[in-house]
Amino acid sequence: MSLDVDWSSIDKERYPDREDEFGDTQLNAVTFSLAFASMAVGISKITEKNAGEFYTRLAMIERLHGAGLSNKDGPRFITPAEIHDHIGLRTNASTLSSAAFAKTIYKREHAELLNRFKADMEVVALAEAAGV
């Protein structure tokens, strides 16, 4: 499924499009990140009512996996103001209830950490077999 994005409500003076190395117009980094984050957070439109929930879900993901943006100083987190400035951003992302989002995050993190544990145990077993 491709991601359809409606960013017509975004302030283009504050979040201008940029031109890539081929001369094509691209969304600015914040709008681009939030559009794709909508899939991860399970919220397809940022509204006044759900902006806090969008931010909270995205902040959880960023805490687990790292900042969603970077600048000359390195990685940086999306701010509440940037979420608020993007009220009206709409995508075709699937919607997740709070419970479904929490379950998805738990399952994803649980599986990743369990796999990491198993891989570490394989290394330990190999080291023990080699007498290290």
Can you tell me the distance from the alpha carbon of 36 to that of 95, in angstroms, rounded to the nearest whole number?
A: 13
Contact residues for 9 (Cβ-Cβ < 8 A; gap 6+): 87, 88, 89, 90
Query: What percentage of the chain has pLDDT greater than the value 90?
Result: 61
Can you tell me the distance from the alpha carbon of 50 to that of 68, in angstroms, rounded to the nearest whole number?
A: 20
Can you tell me the distance from the alpha carbon of 131 to that of 41, in angstroms, rounded to the nearest whole number?
A: 46
pLDDT of residue 49: 97
Q: What average pLDDT does the structure give for the chain?
A: 89
pLDDT of residue 1: 56
Q: Is the pLDDT of residue 9 over 90?
A: no
pLDDT of residue 104: 93
Q: What is the average pLDDT across 81-101?
A: 93
Can you tell me the distance from the alpha carbon of 95 to that of 93, in angstroms, rounded to the nearest whole number?
A: 6
pLDDT-wise least confident of 17-21, 32-36, 95-99: 17-21
Q: Is the pLDDT of residue 74 over 80?
A: yes
Tokens of 61: 């993901």
Confidence of residue 4 (pLDDT cuts 50, 70, 90): confident
Where are the domains positioned within the chain?
Answer: 5-95, 97-132
